[in-house]
Chain A
Amino acid sequence: MSTRRAAVVGGNRIPFARADGPYAHASNQDMLTATLDGLIARFGLQDERLGEVAAGAVLKHSRDFNLTREAVLGSRLSASTPAYDVQQACGTGLETTLLVANKIALGQIEAGIAGGVDTVSDAPIAVNEDLRQVLLDVNRARSLGGRLRAFGGLRPGQLKPSIPRNAEPRTGLSMGEHAAITAAEWGIGREAQDELAVASHHNLAAAYDRGFFADLVTPFLKLARDQNLRPDSSLEKLAKLKPVFGRGEGATMTAGNSTPLTDGASTVLLATDEWAAQRNLPVLAHVVDGETAAVDYVHGDRREDGLLMAPVYAVPRLLERNKLTLADFDFYEIHEAFASTVLATLAAWEDPDFCRNRLGLAEPLGTIDRSKLNVNGSSLAAGHPFAATGGRIVATLAKLLHEKGSGRGLISICAAGGQGVVAILEAA
């Protein structure tokens, strides 16, 4: 069976906002719908029936079980466009891209939209687990007496609501605490992390200033640029911040070199070359391949199986399958969950023992030319609305490749649950 290459036609996102900022009262559905509508307006997709829209959110209300479909119904797309939700933590946006691209490659659909959205401001708050059990027992009771007995289980402490936490269920540690362990194990220093953060801010600001995002971002609720962006960020300023993750003298991770909690949404338009050509739409890049890996961060090695280390394993497998080396890329987009995560990833690929023992490579995977890394900034500057990050990166990289006119780019995104999604794009 022959396959086709899925084209990245373009993207749209709303500027990312800090939690409880301008989007505090916007729901996931509001943001995803607005982001879809911006994409539709950019590419004239009003009333089009697309093959599918795949998107998702990490923090999601139970009422939003059909979030993406509801957003499609509220958008200017044809209501006959099907949609489904995906949730793979921070990998969601890239995973939906791969899903839609794969269907295009297999000839099942001609065009589709991938995306993701997240709000930590409008987070779902659930009733206390004990209270929930009591209420369910009441519901199940068949007699008045039974109901009264069930009500007898009520306690004042059950009024405390259950608020979602940025923590791994199996370890109880927050993502930052996990990352701090990894940073310490790999000896990632404070200054190197701050340098990466400063570069991210400066690169993103420069990209905005040269108009790079004019056809990638549509303002929302009067916010026109990523709220977290600090164009005047500097090593001196970052050096003043106190560590927030990790303990004692060795703590290196601050609010400046970690991503803040963020609200936002992103979308990517994918299609066959023919579909794009029929509509005079550009092809920015092609989706070449993708790979997902997972590590046993619960029982595994403290150094080598860190929560956010899965991309370290995914990339060599992807390179092997595509007969490529780490040096064969013009752009590297490594999601900056934390500056230390990016640096630990690079360190692992340069470590001969790790590469031999864990990746089965005779030589280290290699070193990345830092001037090709996150050249237009990444999550440290833009912010990181979990499921929306993948779409932001895919569209940004596709446009970078289109501007260059040749070459390929590597995307690496770490995700909760010890997972990692990586992909290759190639200039069209």
Chain B
Amino acid sequence: MSDRYLNLVNSGMGKTVASRLGLPRPEVLRRYHVGDPLLPGPLLLGGSGAPVLAGLAGVLKAAGVDVRDADAADAAEARWAGLVYDATDANEIRDLAVLRDFFAGALRRLGPSGRVIVLGRSPEGSDPVVDATRQALDGIVRSLGKELRAGATANLVLIEGDASPESALRFLLSGRSAYVDGQLIRVGGGAAPADPVRPLDGKIALVTGAARGIGSAIADVLARDGAHVIVADLPAAGEGLARVANRIGGTTLQLDIARPEAPATLLSHLGERHGGVDIVVHNAGITRDRLLANMKPEQWDSVLAVNLEAQLRINTVLLGSTVLHDGARVVCLASTSGIAGNRGQTNYAASKAGIIGMVRSYASAFARREATINAIAPGFIDTDMTHAMPFATREVARRLNSLQQAGLPVDVAEAVAWLASPSAGGINGQVLRVCGQNLVGA
């Protein structure tokens, strides 16, 4: 469904009117297409973190990025596509002022859908000054995200030890992260190499709830990135499911994941038909919205059964089986409702918050198999579900984030595909919001 307001304020006349009236002017976001460079223009690299920084310039250049530093001759006139600041050795409050200097000079020349990325380290609980400085980065990036306009985003990458931030940087700089804003990503070790164009080549992926909406977009993107995708959904959704499978050269599995025998059915299908699975995307979910005071037990139970219990049972079975290949990637769809709460959604929020607890709890067990499990929490994404909302409610909801627009299913799919890639092995047990930095929800 098209965002008419977004189209209007990006038309000649609409742009002028919106600008004069001070109305929100959402940008048409830069989204990834195969063959796109990581960035459409030069990147300014700054910071004082000597060890990380030294490697960083080389990594970015190798990725085809036009990397400049503040001393370059034309730095004062350049129009930046991205600003990356390495604050990994920021340990005192005055180090933050250096960061301020860097951004103050460059932000005005950040282009549309620009990227601001700060690299830092996690507070580790030994020195209060160091920890305060490191935690301060979080406040800076989140505020910056709210200040940026024209589709630009700001994100914080925290590096553990000598882990490489390359995979996270590639994702965040590219159009794949169009709707990822104000996020904090912790990167540990465990990244495996992958072809940047077809990072999922040869992988077997399962996507549940794939007949339409976000699920079908995930299937599309995983297939585009090289995976053979098994699309699963309820038997009653089989017509749309077959269309998705035939579009992407995948295969269908009509399955109600909430049935008691579903984990066993899934396991034998994945094992016998595909020799195992590398990527599992738990996307299937239902809503039965009702105020808690009015909620019927079956409305509560069905949402918890499909959205949470089914995933728990399937993940446990997979984890204990060689059908789940070592180095596998499991991505579970949570929701900003599970983080911020939502009126009328105690059951749904319970299930989605539960997902967050689940991935954190599973992380170490998955790590022992060089596998990862993470959650994606979509914010307001334009789907059939939001299409059914009343017009005014939908229009307001669309603007309540730093990018002043709803995300698209493909935005969620891109984040899923990144976490599913071999190079994202350093990210485990985390929750990544794809919400355009929604104003509600941490």
Contacts and interface: CB of A to CB of B under 8 A. Distances in A.
B272 A219 contact: no
Q: Which 3 A-B pairs have the closest CB atoms?
A: A41-B245, A41-B242, A224-B236
Contacts of A40: 242, 246
Interface stretch (B3-11, B65-73, B189-197, B247-255): B247-255
B272 A282 contact: yes
Contacts of B239: 34, 38, 218-222
B246 A280 contact: no
A211 B242 CA distance: 18
B267 to A, nearest CB: 15
Interface string B230-271: 000001111101110110011111111001010000000000
Contact of B249 (A47, A214, A215, A222): A47
A403 to B, nearest CB: 12
B37 interface: no
Interface string A216-237: 0111111010000000000000
Nearest to B255: A214
Nearest to B248: A46
Given A213-B235, A219-B238, A220-B239, A41 B255 contact: no
B274 interface: yes
B73 to A, nearest CB: 53
Contact of B272 (A38, A41, A42, A280): A280
Interface of A: 34, 37-38, 40-44, 46-47, 76, 211, 213-215, 217-222, 224, 280-282
A41 B246 contact: yes
B235 A43 contact: no
B252 A219 contact: no
Contacts of B202: none
Nearest to A47: B249
B20 interface: no
Nearest to B252: A41
Most chain-B CB neighbours within 10 Å: which of A37, A47, A214? A214
B273 interface: yes
Nearest to B235: A214
A46 to B, nearest CB: 5
B252 A42 contact: yes
B275 interface: yes
B215 to A, nearest CB: 15
12 contacts: A37-B242, A38-B238, A41-B241, A41-B243, A41-B250, A44-B245, A47-B249, A76-B246, A213-B235, A214-B256, A217-B235, A282-B273
B235 A280 contact: no
A222 B240 CA distance: 10
A44 B245 CA distance: 8
A41 B211 CA distance: 12
A42 B147 CA distance: 49
A37 B244 CA distance: 11
B207 to A, nearest CB: 14
Contacts of B249: 44, 46-47
Contacts of B273: 280-282
Nearest to B230: A44
A4 to B, nearest CB: 22
A34 B254 CA distance: 16
Contacts of A222: 239
A34 B256 CA distance: 22
Contacts of B275: 280
B236 A46 contact: no
A217 B238 contact: yes
A215 B254 contact: yes
Interface of B: 228, 235-239, 241-243, 245-246, 249-256, 259, 261, 272-275
A219 B246 contact: no
A154 to B, nearest CB: 47
Given A41-B242, A217-B235, A219-B237, 17 more contacts: A37-B246, A38-B252, A41-B243, A41-B245, A41-B250, A42-B245, A42-B251, A42-B252, A44-B245, A214-B235, A215-B253, A215-B254, A219-B235, A219-B236, A219-B239, A280-B272, A282-B272
Contacts of B242: 37-38, 40-42, 218
Nearest to A76: B246
Contact of A43 (B237, B241, B251, B274): B251
Most chain-A CB neighbours within 10 Å: which of B237, B239, B273, B274? B239
B252 A280 contact: no
Contacts of B274: 280
Given A76-B246, A218-B242, A44 B235 contact: no
Contacts of A34: 239
A44 B237 CA distance: 18
A51 to B, nearest CB: 21
A37 B247 CA distance: 11
Contact of B254 (A44, A47, A218): A218
B250 A44 contact: yes
B263 to A, nearest CB: 13
Contact of B259 (A46, A211, A224): A211
Most chain-A CB neighbours within 10 Å: which of B241, B250, B254, B259? B254
Contacts of A215: 253-254
Given A41-B242, A46-B249, A224 B235 contact: yes
Most chain-B CB neighbours within 10 Å: which of A34, A43, A224, A281? A224
A12 to B, nearest CB: 9
A205 to B, nearest CB: 14
Contacts of B235: 211, 213-214, 217, 219, 224
Nearest to A43: B251
Contacts of A281: 273
A217 B254 CA distance: 9
Given A219-B237, A219-B239, A282-B272, A214 B254 contact: yes
Nearest to A208: B235
B257 to A, nearest CB: 12
A267 B66 CA distance: 56
A340 B322 CA distance: 53
Contacts of B250: 41, 44
A224 to B, nearest CB: 4
Contacts of A41: 241-243, 245-246, 250-252
Contacts of B237: 219
Contacts of A213: 235
Given A38-B242, A211-B259, A280-B274, A44 B251 contact: yes
A68 B31 CA distance: 42
A280 B239 CA distance: 24
Contacts of B241: 41, 218
A44 B246 CA distance: 8
A71 to B, nearest CB: 14
A224 B245 CA distance: 18
Most chain-B CB neighbours within 10 Å: which of A38, A213, A280? A38
Contacts of A221: 239
A345 B235 CA distance: 35
B238 A218 contact: yes
Most chain-B CB neighbours within 10 Å: which of A42, A220, A280, A282? A42
A210 to B, nearest CB: 9
B246 A46 contact: yes
A221 B251 CA distance: 20
B256 A211 contact: yes
Contacts of B253: 215
Contacts of A280: 272-275
Nearest to A224: B236
A398 to B, nearest CB: 16
A215 B265 CA distance: 11
Nearest to A220: B239
Most chain-B CB neighbours within 10 Å: which of A47, A215, A218, A219? A219
Contacts of A211: 235, 256, 259, 261
